[in-house]
């Protein structure tokens, strides 16, 4: 809807074209030219939407993390349709700019002093105090759910559960991949590409992740997106894909060493399961950086993946793959419908059943021990006392 509005607001004047009368071919070519120009103008208009946050209205806070120094909000643009999701995150200090911080361009505001201890607030120039902004517009409900803070549940996904629950979900509810194909087809983010192997089977594009500005290596974060489109996640990998995985590992590390000076032994290289989008990609992060999603139940080291496939051709087809899923996620709802996450209910039912059969069990225990039964024992048991 927002794209349609943008086209209407920024549609260019019709271009003059030579059209032969009664020529359907010429008319079609003219229409293609106008449509192409309109699309380019629309892209420019969309790029200009968030030049500032002047027209942005916050609807609610989705998540706020003290650890990551980040906040995610749901909002909207005044006068426009559609919802926006914005994530703001404070960036790590750039060691190369420390001297600029420790200069007269930074003012200090006194909070208090006690003996030799000074507590002050440092007010730095904007260019030394940047905040990373990730914007999704127009955002769908699945984007909002992804950023919304929620408790999580653990799933032990068997091969059968993958076929019955996860795979149908992937086929019907995954995010649009248009932005991925824009990168692979060199339509977008061409200037951000760090390295590319164009081979259609073994090739990939390596570029900075959205969570990294590329200005400092303290929080280095890149991802390799494969060219082939038939591999969606860890579950699809077989021994035949080992050349692809080794190629990503070796050439990815070499490219990062050449561009940023970070050696391979200072990198954490892994894949996510479940991933945020279902087109196989590999994460490269600085070992010193506690990147989101590096915990057990999410990240699988690429070296381990390669080793497992070397041992067993169909390891990831046959293995149980545990993963965490947010409680508001549609995939969790599917697993709940399948019968998972009902432990509390079963315990409650078991407790109720124990209450019903408890006196009978107690009677049998006493009869077995003494050979007789005193009705007072049941009353003591029902009151929670001990029958003697």
Residues carrying an active site annotation: 281
Contact status, residue 9 vs residue 49, Cβ threshold 8 Å: no
> Which distant-in-sequence residues (6+ apart) come within 8 Å of 124 by Cβ?
101, 105, 106
**Which residue's structure tokens are 């799933």?**
155
Beta carbons within 8 Å of 1's beta carbon, 6+ residues apart: 81, 82, 138
Record the tokens describing residue 4, joined without a space. Answer: 């349609």
**Per-residue H/E/C for 317-385:** HHCCEEEEEECCCHHHHHHHHCCCCCHHHHHHHHHHHHHHHHHHHHHHHHHHHHCCCCHHHHHHHHCCC
Q: What's the rounded Cα separation, in Å, for the pair 24 and 188?
A: 33
The CA-to-CA distance between both ends of the chain, in Å, stands at 76
Strand partners, 328: none
């Amino acid at each position: 809807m927002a794209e349609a509005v943008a086209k209407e607001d920024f549609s260019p004047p019709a271009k003059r074209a030579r059209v032969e009368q009664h020529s359907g071919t010429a008319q079609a070519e003219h229409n293609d030219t106008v449509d192409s120009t309109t699309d380019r103008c629309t892209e420019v208009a969309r790029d200009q939407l968030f030049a500032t946050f002047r027209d942005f209205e916050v609807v609610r806070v989705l998540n706020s993390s003290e650890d990551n120094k980040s906040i995610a909000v749901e909002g909207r643009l005044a006068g426009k349709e559609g919802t926006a999701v914005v994530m703001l995150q404070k960036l790590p200090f750039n060691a190369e700019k420390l001297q600029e911080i420790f200069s007269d361009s930074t003012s200090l505001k006194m909070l208090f002093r006690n003996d030799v201890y000074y507590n002050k607030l440092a007010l730095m120039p904007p260019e030394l105090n940047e905040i990373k902004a990730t914007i999704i517009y127009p955002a769908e409900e699945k984007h909002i759910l992804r950023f919304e803070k929620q408790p999580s549940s653990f799933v032990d996904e068997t091969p059968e559960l993958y076929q019955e629950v996860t795979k149908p979900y992937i086929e019907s509810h995954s995010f649009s991949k248009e932005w991925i194909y824009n990168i692979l087809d060199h339509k977008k983010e061409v200037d951000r590409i760090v390295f590319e192997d164009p081979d259609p089977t073994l090739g990939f594009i390596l570029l900075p992740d959205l969570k990294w500005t590329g200005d400092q290596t303290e929080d280095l974060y890149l991802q390799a997106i494969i060219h082939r489109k038939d591999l969606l996640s860890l579950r699809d990998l077989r021994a035949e894909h080992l050349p692809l995985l080794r190629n990503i590992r070796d050439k990815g590390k070499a490219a990062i060493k050449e561009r940023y000076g970070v050696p391979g032994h200072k990198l954490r290289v892994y894949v996510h399961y479940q991933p945020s989008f279902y087109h196989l990609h590999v994460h490269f992060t600085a070992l010193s950086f506690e990147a989101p999603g590096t915990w057990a139940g999410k990240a699988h080291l690429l070296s381990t993946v390669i080793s497992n496939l070397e041992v067993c051709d169909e390891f990831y087809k046959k293995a149980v793959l545990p993963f965490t899923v947010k409680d508001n996620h549609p995939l969790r709802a599917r697993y709940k419908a399948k019968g998972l996450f009902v432990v509390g209910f079963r315990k409650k039912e078991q407790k109720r059943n124990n209450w019903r059969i408890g006196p009978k069990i107690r009677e049998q225990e006493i009869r077995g021990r003494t050979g007789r039964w005193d009705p007072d024992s049941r009353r003591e048991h029902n009151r929670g006392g001990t029958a003697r």
